[in-house]
Amino acid sequence: MLRWKASCRTCRLRVAVHIGNEPENRCRRSAAVYDHHVRILSVVGARPQFVKLAPVAEAVVAAGHEHVIVHTGQHYDPALSDVFFSGLGIPRPDVRLEVGSGGHGAQTGAMLERLDAVLERYRPDWVLVYGDTNSTLAGALSAVKLGIPAAHLEAGLRSFNRRMPEEHNRVLTDHACDLLLAPTQEAVRHLADEGLAGRTVLVGDVMVDACLRARDLVEQARTAVLATSAEGVDPGLPFVVATVHRPQNTDDPARLAAIVDALAALPVQVALLAHPRLTARAEASGIDLRRGAIRVSTPLPYAQTVAAVLGSAGVVTDSGGLQKEAYLLGRVCTTLRTETEWPETLEDGWNVLLPFTEPGSAAALAALATRPAPDNPPGRPYGDGKAAVRAIEALERARTAAAG
- Reported as half-sphere exposure (CB side, CA atoms, 13 A), residue 51 has a value of 25
148 φ, ψ to 5°? Answer: -105, 130
CA distance 17 to 8: 10
Torsion of CA 298, 302, 307, 313, to 10 degrees: 60
CA distance 160 to 162: 6
Torsion of CA 164, 165, 170, 175, to 10 degrees: 120
Element (H, E) at 195: none
Element (H, E) at 34: none
The residue from 18, 65, 190, 245 that is catalytic is 245
Give Cβ neighbours of residue 326 (< 8 Å, ≥ 6 apart). Answer: 309, 314, 315, 317, 332, 333, 345, 350, 351
Give Cβ neighbours of residue 75 (< 8 Å, ≥ 6 apart). Answer: 45, 46, 47, 81
Query: Which phi-psi region, left, alpha or beta, contains residue 314 (left: φ > 0; alpha: ψ -120 to 50)?
Result: left
Judge contact between 114 and 135, C-beta under 8 A: no
Residue 89 burial (CB count, 10 A): 9
Q: Of 275, 320, 43, 369, give the one whose Cα is nearest residue 161.
A: 320
Query: 245 an active-site residue?
Result: yes
What 3-state class would DSSP assign to 135?
helix
Q: Of 394, 388, 392, give the one whose Cα is nearest residue 54.
A: 388
CA distance 337 to 18: 47
Q: Catalytic site residues?
A: 245
